[in-house]
Structure 1
Amino acid sequence: MSRTWRNRLQLVGGLLLILLAAWIVVAGGSGGDSGGSGDGGATSATSETRSAAPSSGGATPDSGLATIAESALPPEGRETLELIRSGGPFPYDRDGITFQNREGILPSQQRGYYREYTVPTPGEDDRGARRIVGGEAGDRYYTDDHYDSFRQIEEGQ
């Protein structure tokens, strides 16, 4: 009888551990999206936080990152920016998915703040490495190296 109870206790304990791990994942202990983007490292206590204070214009938060003028984006980037402004339609199914800022390069924000959009690369058979990531406050960022670096887009310039 004690052997049966021990087996039952081990089974119940194992199930509890599985449920606890699942709860941690669902509650935000970790998470992800495809493309290597996410916020797993961006919210840790050791991550560098950057100011998201409004810029001198007052409308778009200043990220403290290097900038790129909208006119300096590749033509496909300017087209993608126009699609974002007009709400689509977007050519890729993954356009508009949550970008979670796992790299911690963009200013730390709550989950779901950022969305990512593909900037097509001529000659590529897949989505390529270029993206525009937009925040809820209208802040937009360009990467041409699949999230290794970002520049904040200066729209209208």
Structure 2
Amino acid sequence: MRGIARLLTLAAVLILVVGLGMVLSTTQENPAGPAVSASPTAGGTSAIGTGSASPGSAKTATVPAVPEVANTSGLEAVAASSLPPEARETLALIARGGPYPYSRDGAVFSNFERLLPRKPGGYYKEFTVRTPGESDRGARRIVAGETGEKYYTPDHYESFLFIVESK
């Protein structure tokens, strides 16, 4: 009987270790993993803010301005003009480099869900899309990559659409 109890305890510990390993592998970016980078394109640069709620105090990161970004994500594409008006307002704020109404706008998006293409840490920034009637930030966001690609999530990172911006 003691042998069976030991075997069951060992099996339970093994299941816990494997389960913990699976959870950790899906919630952490792998710094040793392959870094995929987009080809550089012609154009100037634009700024993406990194989290300021007041005008004139926005910290900015230089991001290449890409007139037309190819959808290499495999995600469904949506025209920017088809997005809700609040999302189009957020796109305009990103293009201007702020100021942003929420302190978390411009914060690093870590892509823990791994629904966007894998990139090095700090590659993506997130921006709030105001939701009428919500007292907090709501669930809608735009995530912008360093090379200019942008994604819209209406459901707090459960799904994404690649945004096609017109020239």
Q: TM-score range by the shorter chain?
A: 0.5 to 0.7
Unaligned runs of at least 5 residues, structure 2: 1-23, 40-65
> Once the two structures are superposed, what CA deviation does each residue of 1:12-66 show, in whole Å capped at 9, x if it has no partner?
xxxxxxxxxxxxxxxxxx8xxxxxxxx8445499x9x9x8766xx9952421111
Q: Which residue of 1 aligns with 2:4?
A: none
Q: Which residue of 2 aligns with 1:138?
A: 148
Unaligned runs of at least 5 residues, structure 1: 1-29, 31-38
How many residue pairs were aligned? Answer: 115
- Asked if the contact 1:76/1:120 (under 8 Å) is kept, the reply is yes
Tell me the TM-score normalized by structure 1. Answer: 0.65
User: CA separation in 2, counterparts of 1:88 and 1:40?
Assistant: 30
Q: Select 1:98's aligned residue among 64, 84, 108.
A: 108
Q: Select 2:121's aligned residue among 94, 107, 111.
A: 111
- Asked if the contact 1:121/1:127 (under 8 Å) is kept, the reply is yes
Q: Which residue of 1 aligns with 2:74?
A: 64
User: CA separation in 2, counterparts of 1:94 and 1:58?
Assistant: 27
* Paired residue secondary structure (2:87): helix
* Paired residue secondary structure (1:78): helix
% same residue: 53
- Asked if the contact 2:38/2:147 (under 8 Å) is kept, the reply is no
User: CA separation in 1, counterparts of 2:114 and 2:120?
Assistant: 12
Tell me the TM-score normalized by structure 2. Answer: 0.61
Q: CA 1:156 to 1:118, structure 2 compared with 1: closer, same or farther past 3 Å?
A: same
Q: CA 1:58 to 1:118, structure 2 compared with 1: closer, same or farther past 3 Å?
A: closer
Q: Which residue of 2 aligns with 1:77?
A: 87
